C-alpha cells in the first residue's frame, strides 16, 4: 500500500500547496545526425577510398559514443554506383541507428532531410528535434552526443520557445596519411554543429552555411550556446579528395607542417573512436589521384542540376509532354558521365 493513501485527502492537498514541486524532466528531443555521402559522384574508385574513411572515422566515432540515443541519416544519390551501395548497406546492416535515404540531386538533400525529420518526429511523438552536422570523412569525440543531450536538456528545462544553436568550438585539423595535426577553433564548425528546434517547423542545421548559421539566426532571437573548454570535439580530415573542388589548395601541407602541430597517437585517436587498425589503414592506404582539376567540372554539375530542377517544375504543366521527361533523363545521363571517372 502506498504511504500517500494513509494520509487524508485534505492534508495531502495542503502539503502539495506548501511543498516545492518536483522539477519535471523535459522529454528528450529526436536527435538526428545527418551526413551527405557522395551525392552526384558515380566513380567506384572514389567511393572505395571514401568509404574507407567513412568506416574508420565517422562510423567508428559514432559506434564509440557513450550515448547512443540518436539516428544517423546517411543520404546518398539514388543512382549511387552498385558496388558502393552494397558496401554501405553492409556497414549499416548491424547498426540499427543508421538510416540510409536517397535523393535525386545535391540541392534536394536539405528539403528531403527536412521532410524526413518532421515525419520521424511526428511518428515518435517528439515535440523538439536536434539535428547535427557530420561529414563522411570526419569524426567526433565519443562524448559529444552525451554533451549535446546535456545541453539540450538544460535548455528545454528553462521552458524556451526559441530554437538554439549548439556549437562545439574546439577541435583538431589533421592529415590522416601523416597522423599529424593541430588544435583549431571555429565559432561555427562544419562538424558537430547542432540546431535544437520545434519539430513542427524544423528546418535542420543544414538550413544554411555552417559558418553563418548562428549569425543569421541570432537576429531572430535564437539562443546560441558554445561548448567551450579544453575538449577537442571534432577531428577534421584534410585529404586530396576533401579538397578536390578547390583550385591549388595547399591546406594539407599547412596542417601537417603547422608550427604548433603534433602527432596523433593511438591514445589521442581513441578519443574519437578511431582504432589502431583504422589509423594504420588511413595512414598506409594510398589516396587515389585526381584525373584533372575538378573545379570547373563541379560548376558544370551545378548548372546541370539547375536545368533539371527547372524542367521538373514544368512536368505538371499542360504543355509539358514526354519531351521534357526525355530531356531530364538525358541531363541525368550527362551528370553521371561527367562524374564517373574522377580519380585513378
User: Quick check: is 56 in a domain?
Assistant: yes
Block means of pLDDT (10 residues each) for the chain, 344 residues, are: 60 63 76 98 96 98 98 98 98 98 97 98 98 98 98 94 96 97 96 98 97 94 93 95 61 92 97 98 94 79 95 78 91 95 92
Q: What is the pTM of this model?
A: 0.91
Q: Which pLDDT score, from 0 to 100, does residue 299 have?
A: 86
From the number of C-beta atoms within 10 Å of its C-beta (0-12, 13-18, 19+), residue 153 rates as middle
Pairing between β-strand 262-263 and β-strand 180-185 as defined by DSSP bridges: antiparallel
Return the closest-CA partner of residue 324 out of 336, 307, 341, 344. 307
- Say if residue 181 is in the same domain as residue 249: yes
- Say if residue 271 is in the same domain as residue 332: no
Q: How many CB atoms lie within 10 A of CB 8?
A: 8
User: Quick check: is 10 in a domain?
Assistant: no
Retrieve residue 124's grid coordinates.
Answer: 515518435
With H, G, I as helix, E, B as strand and everything else as coil, classify residue 234.
Answer: strand
User: Quick check: is 324 in a domain?
Assistant: yes
CATH number of residue 200's parent domain: 3.90.550
- Say if residue 63 is in the same domain as residue 196: yes
User: Quick check: is 21 in a domain?
Assistant: no
Q: How many CB atoms lie within 10 A of CB 263?
A: 10
Cα dist. 81→16, 53, 85, 170, 343 in Å? 64, 17, 6, 36, 15
- Say if residue 80 is in the same domain as residue 186: yes
With H, G, I as helix, E, B as strand and everything else as coil, classify residue 60.
Answer: helix
- Say if residue 130 is in the same domain as residue 276: yes
Q: Which pLDDT score, from 0 to 100, does residue 266 have?
A: 96
Q: Which pLDDT score, from 0 to 100, does residue 23 have?
A: 56
Edge to edge, what strands does the sheet with 170-175 contain?
Answer: 139-140, 234-237, 170-175, 180-185, 262-263
Pairing between β-strand 30-36 and β-strand 128-133 as defined by DSSP bridges: parallel
Domain total of the chain: 2
- Say if residue 234 is in the same domain as residue 277: yes
- Sequence-ordered list of residues with C-beta below 8 angstroms from that of 262, at least 6 positions apart, any chain: 180, 181, 182
User: Quick check: is 244 in a domain?
Assistant: yes
**Alpha-carbon gap, residue 245 to 9, rounded angstroms:** 72
* Structural domain range at position 326: 295-338
User: Quick check: is 4 in a domain?
Assistant: no
User: Quick check: is 117 in a domain?
Assistant: yes
Q: Which pLDDT score, from 0 to 100, does residue 1 have?
A: 45
- Say if residue 271 is in the same domain as residue 305: no
User: Quick check: is 263 in a domain?
Assistant: yes
Q: Which pLDDT score, from 0 to 100, does residue 251 have?
A: 84
Amino acid at each position: 500500500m502506498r504511504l500517500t493513501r494513509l494520509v487524508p485527502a485534505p492534508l495531502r492537498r495542503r502539503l502539495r500547496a506548501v511543498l516545492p514541486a518536483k522539477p519535471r524532466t523535459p522529454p528528450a528531443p529526436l536527435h538526428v545526425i545527418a551526413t551527405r555521402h557522395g551525392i552526384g559522384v558515380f566513380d567506384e574508385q572514389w567511393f572505395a577510398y571514401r568509404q574507407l574513411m567513412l568506416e574508420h572515422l565517422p562510423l567508428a566515432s559514432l559506434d564509440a559514443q557513450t550515448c547512443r540515443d540518436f539516428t544517423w541519416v546517411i543520404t546518398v544519390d539514388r543512382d549511387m554506383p552498385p558496388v558502393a551501395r552494397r558496401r554501405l548497406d553492409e556497414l549499416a546492416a548491424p547498426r540499427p541507428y543508421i538510416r540510409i535515404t536517397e535523393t535525386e540531386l545535391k540541392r534536394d538533400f536539405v528539403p528531403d532531410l527536412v521532410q524526413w525529420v518532421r515525419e520521424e518526429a511526428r511518428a515518435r511523438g517528439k515535440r523538439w528535434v536536434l539535428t547535427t552536422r557530420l561529414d563522411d570523412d570526419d569524426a567526433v569525440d565519443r562524448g559529444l552526443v552525451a554533451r549535446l543531450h546535456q545541453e539540450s536538456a538544460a535548455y528545454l528545462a528553462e521552458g524556451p520557445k526559441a530554437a538554439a544553436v549548439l556549437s562545439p568550438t574546439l577541435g583538431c585539423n589533421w592529415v590522416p596519411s601523416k597522423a599529424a595535426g593541430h588544435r583549431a577553433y571555429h565559432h561555427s564548425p562544419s562538424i558537430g554543429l547542432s540546431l535544437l528546434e520545434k519539430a513542427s517547423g524544423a528546418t535542420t542545421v543544414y538550413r544554411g552555411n555552417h559558418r553563418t548559421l548562428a549569425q543569421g539566426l541570432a537576429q531572430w532571437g535564437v539562443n546560441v550556446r558554445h561548448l567551450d573548454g579544453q575538449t577537442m570535439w571534432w577531428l577534421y580530415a584534410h585529404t586530396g579528395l576533401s579538397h578536390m573542388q578547390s583550385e591549388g589548395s595547399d591546406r594539407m601541407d599547412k596542417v601537417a607542417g603547422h608550427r604548433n602541430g603534433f602527432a596523433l597517437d593511438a591514445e589521442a585517436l581513441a578519443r574519437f573512436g578511431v582504432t589502431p587498425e583504422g589509423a594504420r589503414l588511413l595512414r598506409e592506404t594510398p589516396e587515389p589521384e585526381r584525373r584533372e582539376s575538378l573545379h570547373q567540372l563541379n560548376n558544370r554539375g551545378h548548372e546541370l542540376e539547375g536545368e533539371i530542377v527547372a524542367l521538373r517544375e514544368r512536368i505538371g504543366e499542360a504543355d509539358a509532354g514526354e519531351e521534357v521527361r526525355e530531356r531530364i533523363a538525358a541531363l541525368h545521363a550527362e551528370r553521371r558521365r561527367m562524374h564517373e571517372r574522377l580519380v585513378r
